[in-house]
Amino acid sequence: MWDPKANDELYRSYCPNCGDRLIGDSEKGEQVCQACGYVAAAGADQGPEWKAIDLEEKSKRVRVGSPTTLTLHDLGLSTDIGSDMRDSHGKYLDPTMRATVEKMKKWQSRIRTSTSQERGLSIVLGRITEVCDNLNLPRNVAETAAHIYRTSVKLKVAKSKSIMGMTAATVYLACRKCGVSRTLKEVARAAGIEKGSVAKYFRLILKDVEKEYVPPASVEKHISKLVNFAKIDPRVEHLALLLSRMTNDSKISSGKAPAGLAAAYVYMSSVMRGDHLPQREVAEFAEVTEVTVRNRCRELLDNYIIRQKIGWKE
DNA sequence: ATGGTTTTTACTGCGTC
DNA sequence: GACGCGGTAAAAACCAT
């Protein structure tokens, strides 16, 4: 169960021209005002902000905007040591012992990283970029995925795990952290492995590495993605987004798959505008069934008087 | 493990082109 | 007849406990 309003704050911001809400475009990494057409540069002061840095670069850093959940920290050795300062019983070491161990660890990890582990790391990082390319994901998602993987290695979570399993799981998590709408199914397909095993690794990472809850991409992002993929008239998207915002109600969306809801909005919008896309097509692109689309539509129509609010002609 | 919820599968009937 | 659509029952998948 997820609350759509919880992550709404992450990407919502307002147009400097007319004050209307800006709509984030997950594909292009920019935000657009639906009212006046103002286009904000990538992450002016709202969404995640990043600099393209070579993946292999050692002192990697990902800059993000104000939302703290997206903040990524420095990847120096210090973090590794800080998190491991316990003895075998899980108790914290005393300060003098701590200092000694710290030195040891420093050397140990220097030796380690220059040999096999560093190589293993670069293999996975390569896979991550491959999968991200397959999914047409922006650079920052790959960066985030790489960061997640690096910390999983440090926390020993990645030890003796399937390479593709970890790859897919980190990419999927990165998508969610960056607010990009890619389903687990899609990531699994791009990585060429079972959806189930991706979920398994994903949960593992969620448990031991990324403990904060990361909400799935919003319905609105799913709408944008769906429209882009299916090459639907942008005006349908506009209407769909409008509808989704007007009916952005936890009563409707809670517990429901965002992709299904997005499909319903797009389908309804296409009908309202007279384009009338077949349910079959919309459902196919959204990777849900027609039944789900229908159910969402029905619920929407049951709970809202959409025609009047939208000004449906005819 | 389990129980509640959501999605999918598979099938049927209805109207229209 | 084929197609799009709406509905339903039951299976499967999912999620929190």
> What is the residue-level pLDDT of chain A in tens, covering all 314 positions?
333 333 333 344 554 544 455 565 544 445 554 544 545 544 333 333 333 333 333 333 343 333 332 223 334 333 444 445 555 555 666 666 666 666 666 665 555 555 566 777 889 999 999 999 999 999 999 999 999 999 999 998 888 899 999 999 999 999 999 999 999 999 999 999 999 999 999 999 988 898 888 888 999 999 999 999 999 999 999 999 999 998 878 888 888 999 999 999 999 999 999 889 999 999 999 999 999 999 999 999 988 876 544 444 43
Q: Is the CB of A239 under 7 A from strand C?
A: no
Q: Is the CB of A200 under 7 A from strand C?
A: no
Within a 10 A sphere around the Cβ of A83, how many other Cβ atoms?
Answer: 11
* H or E stretch covering A177: helix A163-177
Is residue A158 in a domain?
yes
Q: Is the CB of A293 under 7 A from strand B?
A: no
Number of domains present in the structure of chain A: 3
What is Dmax (Cα atoms) for chain A?
Answer: 80
Residues A247 and A183 in one domain: no
**What is the CA A23 to C1' C5 distance in angstroms?**
33
Residue nearest to nucleotide B5 (CA to C1'): A255
Residues A194 and A228 in one domain: no
**What is the CA A261 to C1' C1 distance in angstroms?**
33
Q: Whole-angstrom Cα distance, residue A304 to residue A312?
A: 13
**What is the CA A69 to C1' B9 distance in angstroms?**
39
Amino acid identity of A180?
V
pLDDT value at position A304? 84
Window A249-278, strand B contacts by Cβ < 7 Å: 254-257, 260
CATH of the domain at A182: 1.10.472.10
Pairing type for strands A30-33 and A22-25 reads antiparallel
Q: Is the CB of A195 under 7 A from strand C?
A: yes
Q: Is the CB of A31 under 7 A from strand B?
A: no
Is residue A52 in a domain?
no
**What is the CA A105 to C1' C15 distance in angstroms?**
40
Residues A122 and A205 in one domain: yes
pLDDT value at position A93? 63
Is residue A189 in a domain?
yes
Residues A231 and A167 in one domain: no
3-state helix, strand, coil in chain A (%, to 5): 55, 5, 40
**What is the CA A168 to C1' C4 distance in angstroms?**
37
Is residue A101 in a domain?
no
pLDDT value at position A64? 36
Which residues form the domain of A33?
A: 8-42
pTM of the model: 0.67
Of the three residues A183, A210, A237, the one that is the final residue of a domain is: A210
